[in-house]
Amino acid sequence: MTSLAKIKPELCISCGLCAVYAPDIFDYDEEGILLFKEEPEAHQQFIPQEQEAALRKAAGKCPVRAILMEKLAD
């Protein structure tokens, strides 16, 4: 099953947890605000199945819920 990750950069407080738990998915801009590593301008991105556990962990640890995860049927 594929997942769709959505981010809300306006909620980000630059705590760094998303990059700790999902460094292949998330990164930060020069101001320390959350963005997708592969598509910095995007606010949503499909996440490969092998990275879903990292996405789930990062979303669960985000203190301001700036990361959302949706499961999509294949």
Domains of the chain: 2-69 (3.30.70.20)
Tokens of 71: 């499961």
* pLDDT for the residue numbered 71: 80
The closest alpha carbon to 5, from 49, 32, 16, belongs to: 49
Confirm if 34 and 12 have CB atoms less than 8 A apart: yes
Q: Rounded mean pLDDT of 13-22?
A: 94
Residue 42, SS3? coil
Task: Name the DSSP class of 10.
Answer: G
The stretches of 1-74 forming alpha helices (DSSP H) are 17-21, 52-61
**Average pLDDT estimate for 42-66:** 95
Q: What is the pLDDT of residue 40?
A: 93
pLDDT at position 74: 61
Give the Cα separation of 36 and 29 in Å (integer).
10
Could you report the per-residue pLDDT of 23-52, keeping only the tens digit for each? 999 999 999 999 999 999 999 999 999 999
Rounded to two decimals, what is the model's pTM? 0.87
